[in-house]
Copies of this chain bind each other. A is one copy, B any other.
Amino acid sequence: MLHLCYYCNMIKYSELKNILKQHKLRVTDCRMDVLEYFIKNNQAFSFKNLEDEFTQYDRVTLYRTLHSFTENGVFHKIPSDTGMITYGVCSTTCSPQNHQHNHMHFQCNCCGKVECLAEDHIPVVKIPLYEVMEVNMILKGVCPQCIA
């Protein structure tokens, strides 16, 4: 489990570093900054988001950061019908081989935010004649912040 400050959502440097270590990734500035950004904002981001946010890093480095994170079970990809992939932080029990993503995703039509609905589990689906190995569920609508 991650330990975030209940007030500012910040995470300890050592914990952040451990996440990278646990996934056999070298600890670099770019990786630390990107991972911290995802965790403290508790939402999913696209490559474009990162490019706008982290102008100090080369675009190629950001591409490669997202790539190594998804390859190594730090991030998971969230499908979209716009062609714009967003990435979410994996649960601590995820490994490259064994992802545990039975949660839904929500995209707000109003503010554009994409988030993992970690508490809402996707029902088990069986389809005759098919072998279903993975189920993705993406909800669209209006998020609580935009409703208020």
SS class, residues of chain A in contact with chain B: strand
**Beta-carbon contact of B123 and A144 below 8 Å:** no
CB of A52 within 8 A of chain B? no
User: How many identical chains are in the complex?
Assistant: 2
**Beta-carbon contact of B147 and A131 below 8 Å:** yes
Identify which of A80, A106, A130 gathers the most chain B CB atoms within 10 Å of its CB.
A130
Q: Find chain B residues with CB under 8 A from A130 CB.
A: 106, 139, 141-144, 147
A133 to B109, CA, bound (A): 9
A127 to B139, CA, bound (A): 10
Interface 0/1 of A129-148, CB less than 8 Å to B: 11111111111111110010
**Beta-carbon contact of A140 and B129 below 8 Å:** no
Nearest chain-B residue to A70 (Cβ)? B81
Total count of chain A residues near the partner, CB < 8 A:
34
CB of A104 within 8 A of chain B? yes
Nearest chain-B residue to A132 (Cβ)? B141
- Within the complex, which residue of B83, B129, B143, B144 is in contact with A147, where a contact is CB–CB below 8 Å? B129
CB of A29 within 8 A of chain B? no
Q: Find chain B residues with CB under 8 A from A79 CB.
A: 79-81, 136, 138
Distance in angstroms from A16 CB to nearest chain B CB is 25
Distance in angstroms from A46 CB to nearest chain B CB is 10
Residues of A participating in the B interface, judged by any CB pair closer than 8 Å: 77-85, 104, 106, 109, 117, 120, 123, 125, 127, 129-144, 147
